[in-house]
A = this chain, B = another copy of it.
């Protein structure tokens, strides 16, 4: 049985707040103290706020440009709205480079944490120490997907959690090797947590209980190990962008 619940009592977070203390207090007050193997899923927005990642930006588009390492694809809608799919410095491909202008004061935007894996490690270390239990922490962000509408939550930071469940050495019920199965359980945990977090009601942390087997040492690989960039990425450019590059090369104008 997997149980997932949102943690009540986490108010507005400001720059410099001790997020581990605030989350720990909410856990202690919840009537359900953490157990070995619990996994906390923390929305990146509150991590960013505590880390002072709010920046003044009259123009969200400028902030996106500054956060972008590489433009993957751009499209302008008939109404003139431009969507940019970009790779950010964390290797994450998403719309808008994680620059968030919702639930932020007018004239400011919120950037992603500088190093979400390190943020997750700091939170996990502090909470393991405080409660004397072995828990894991994931930092989640809401991302769109190629080929599918809508968004789901994904892991952009991880500490003390196996981000993949490696079944590749396993066998199926006929005894044949399960060759290509590598479930990204970190993303699945973040998706499960999003089902209880309710974006509109300010409940930025969820607890997942029931997969203690996925919790391990704090030096396990982080969420950075999930992103696929560079040569292994078959979708490093949008189709229009790649076509245009090829056309220019073929016509000798590149």
Q: Mark A residues whose CB is within 8 Å of B.
A: 1-5, 73, 75, 85, 92-93, 95, 102-105, 142, 145-154, 163-164, 167, 170-174, 176, 178-185, 187-189, 191-192, 194-196, 199-200, 202, 210-211, 225-229, 233-253
Contact yes or no, B239 A200, CB < 8 A: no
Contacts of A252 in B (CB 8 A): 250-251
Query: What are 26 of the A-B contact pairs (CB < 8 Å)?
Result: A1-B196, A2-B195, A2-B196, A4-B210, A93-B146, A95-B180, A102-B172, A102-B181, A103-B172, A105-B174, A146-B233, A148-B184, A148-B187, A148-B227, A152-B183, A153-B183, A167-B199, A167-B200, A178-B199, A185-B195, A191-B192, A239-B242, A241-B242, A246-B248, A246-B250, A248-B250
Residue contact A145 to B145, C-beta cutoff 8 Å: yes
Provide the bound-state CA to CA distance between A247 and B164, in Å. Answer: 38
Establish whether residues A240 and B242, one from each chain, have CB atoms under 8 Å apart when the complex forms: yes
- Give A14 Cβ to nearest chain B Cβ, in Å: 14
A4-B4, A210-B196, A251-B251 as given contacts; A187 in contact with B152, CB under 8 Å: yes
Residues of B within 8 A of A92 (CB): 147
- DSSP class of A's interface residues: helix, strand, loop or mixed? mixed
Q: How far is the CA of A154 from the CA of B238 in the complex (A)?
A: 23
Residues of B with C-beta under 8 A to A85:
234
In the assembled complex, which residues on chain B have CB atoms less than 8 Å from the CB atom of A149?
164, 182, 184, 225-228
Known: A195-B185, A200-B172. Contact between A150 and B5, CB under 8 A?
Answer: no
Chain B's closest residue to A206 (CB) is B2
Q: Are B246 and A147 in contact (CB under 8 A)?
A: no
Q: A234-B75, A234-B240 are in contact. Are A182 and B150 (CB under 8 A)?
A: yes
When C-beta atoms are compared, the residue in chain B nearest to A74 turns out to be B234
Specify which chain B residues have a CB less than 8 angstroms from the CB of A104 in the assembled complex.
Answer: 174
**Given A151-B183, A242-B243, A235–B146 Cβ distance below 8 Å?**
yes
Output the nearest chain B residue to A106 by Cβ-Cβ distance. Answer: B174
Tell whether, in the assembled complex, residue A194 and residue B200 are in contact, meaning their CB atoms are under 8 Å apart. Answer: no
Q: Is B239 touching A236 in the complex (CB atoms < 8 A)? A: yes
Q: Which residues of B have CB within 8 Å of A188? A: 152-153, 191-192, 194-195
Q: Is the pair A73, B240 in contact by a Cβ cutoff of 8 Å? A: no
Cα A237 to Cα B241 in complex, Å, equals: 11
Contact A93 B147 (CB under 8 A): yes
Give Cα A180–Cα B103 distance, bound, in whole angstroms.
Answer: 13
